[in-house]
Amino acid sequence: MHVKTASIVVAVFAATHAFALPKTEEWSKPKPWKNPTQHYFQNAELGPRPQFLITDMDEGWLKDRLSACSDMVAQPTKFSIGHRGGACLQFPEETRESIEAGTRMGAGILECDVAFTSDRELVCRHDQCDLHTTTNIVATDLNAKCTTPFTPAVNGTAATAKCCTSDITLAEFKSLCGKMDGFNASATTPEDFLHGTPAWRTDLYATCGTVLSHKEFLALVDSHGRDFTTELKQPRVPMPFGGDGSDYTQQRYAQQVIDEYRAAAIDPARVWLQSFEFDDVAYWLQADPAFGAQAVLLDESADLPGSSLAAAVANLSFYRDAGVRVVAPPLQYLVALGEGDEYVPSDYATTAKALGLKILTWSLERSGPLAQAAAAGDYYWSTIANGTHKDGDMYRLVDVLARQVGVLGIFSDWSATVTYYANCFGLF
Ligand SMILES: *[C@@H]1O[C@H](CO)[C@@H](O)[C@H](O)[C@H]1NC(C)=O
Ligand SMILES: *[C@@H]1O[C@H](CO)[C@@H](O)[C@H](O)[C@H]1NC(C)=O
Ligand SMILES: *[C@@H]1O[C@H](CO)[C@@H](O)[C@H](O)[C@H]1NC(C)=O
Ligand SMILES: *[C@@H]1O[C@H](CO)[C@@H](O)[C@H](O)[C@H]1NC(C)=O
């Protein structure tokens, strides 16, 4: 009896679907594909994460508003800035794969942090000396060229290595594989040292990330028709690089970034240069005002020894008077806790706005599960940790930054989260 019923069900299913599915030869026809090298990924693909965050929110108007957008066709938006490529929550940072995933997820501006190689070429790396945690270098012959080659853990002393872009040439850099940032301090072999990805990230896409020169980054992002943000990373070697008498000074390094944009004929209006060093921003303002106009002063000055948020606020008018137009503090500088668990704009936010400064902020989606992050004193949530309880709080933060602080854009390790909000609220 059961067998008979089951075979009837299968027969009905097969009959119904025989009409619904296209014939095999239809599948193999190429799809129309216009202009394959220019401006593809025109719609944003947001995946399941925004909905996961919204479902986790407390009931209320913001949850209703965001839920109402769940079937929208999303577009790229400059409000969504791809931090270290825009997908480094899951993809190796500063690689082609992170940038392509960030582009897919609608980031309108993509980031490359630059450092220089021994032959003075600019490459995308978040720190001049992070190759031992972001690439496979210690497990290659290039380990021998590292400032500090890999040393295994012995008797409870941690394994060490320090490998800098300035230790190797561009050609050598290009032979490396990008991986998730992390290392295994107990490693007794170079291969074991490469592990250490936090459990809430993944190694699924760390199958040899394509490392990029800054010139390759410009070509890649331009091919997608998106905008650019290049951060000049602080040198980890004395400048001028190459010793006394070398012409590779800090200013030469800062100028090289602009030279590469000029050589690629990219409109400065599409470019947001960034530095933590006021002197770099001052240099760009003076040397090339077209690029200086949108140069971003990254501000983490409240974290300096002996400093405070109040001291950082006090410095904002100095920057404004010096010609800086855009400041970018970390998320937590811009918000405070109001009544109950409400997030409200901080003194820093209201002062920067009153001075007419434009504001960008960094970095969303860097902290892992939020309940855990808030309890563990996570940097980016530190000023609102006592009002942060779950992942659904993500959009409460984005909402106060967007509608009350009025930031121009948010750097995120997972671009879809910001792209979703921006599309839902019409921020482009
Ligand atoms: C590690 O500890 C063992 C036992 O105490 C000792 O024999 C050995 O010399 C130590 N090795 C190093 C490199 O310190
Ligand atoms: C870290 O290295 C140690 C020693 O090589 C190894 O036993 C351990 O499995 C490694 N941990 C990971 C997560 O790979
Ligand atoms: C204020 O800005 C000046 C110039 O960059 C800097 O020297 C000083 O350390 C800053 N102070 C704080 C608290 O950020
Ligand atoms: C959070 O609450 C704890 C305990 O009440 C308190 O000590 C701490 O100062 C609060 N943190 C902030 C940033 O308000």
What residues flank ligand 1, with Cβ below 6 Å?
154-155
Distance of CA 389 from the midpoint of ligand 4 (Å): 14
Query: Which of the pair, 40 or 96, is modelled with greater confidence?
Result: 96
Q: What atom of ligand 4 comes closest to residue 337's alpha carbon? A: 14
Please write the tens of the pLDDT for every residue from 119-133.
999 999 999 999 999
Among 33-37, 94-98, 147-151, 213-217, the minimum mean pLDDT is found in: 33-37
Please write the tens of the pLDDT for every residue from 141-162.
999 999 999 999 999 999 999 9
Task: Give the separation between CA 108 and CA 412, rounded to whole angstroms.
Answer: 12
| Side chain identity at residue 217, one-letter code | F
Q: Which of 332, 339, 386, 389 to mutate to test the pocket of ligand 4 (most atoms within 8 A of CB)?
A: 386
Task: Give the separation between CA 195 and CA 198, rounded to whole angstroms.
Answer: 9
Q: Say how many C-beta atoms besides its own lie within 10 A of residue 274's C-beta.
A: 24
Q: Is there an atom of ligand 3 within 6 Å of 318 CB?
A: yes
Contact indicator for 82, 415 with CB cutoff of 8 Å:
yes
In this prediction, residue 77 carries a pLDDT of 97
Q: What atom of ligand 2 comes closest to residue 152's alpha carbon? A: 5
Ligand nearest to the CA of 157: 1
Contact indicator for 110, 86 with CB cutoff of 8 Å:
yes
Region 55-59: what's the mean pLDDT?
A: 98
Please write the tens of the pLDDT for every residue from 330-351.
999 999 999 999 999 999 999 9
The tokens for 329 are 């503090």
Region 392-418: what's the mean pLDDT?
A: 98
10 Å CB burial of residue 195 (0-12, 13-18, 19+) is middle
Closest CA to 285 of 323, 319, 317, 328: 323
Q: Is there an atom of ligand 3 within 6 Å of 312 CB?
A: yes
With cut-offs at 50, 70 and 90, classify the pLDDT of residue 42. confident
Task: Give the separation between CA 322 and CA 324, rounded to whole angstroms.
Answer: 6
Ligand 1 atom 4: residue of nearest CA: 155
Mean residue pLDDT across the chain = 93
User: What is the tally of helices (H) and strands (E) in the chain?
Assistant: 17, 15
Region 414-425: what's the mean pLDDT?
A: 98
In this prediction, residue 135 carries a pLDDT of 98
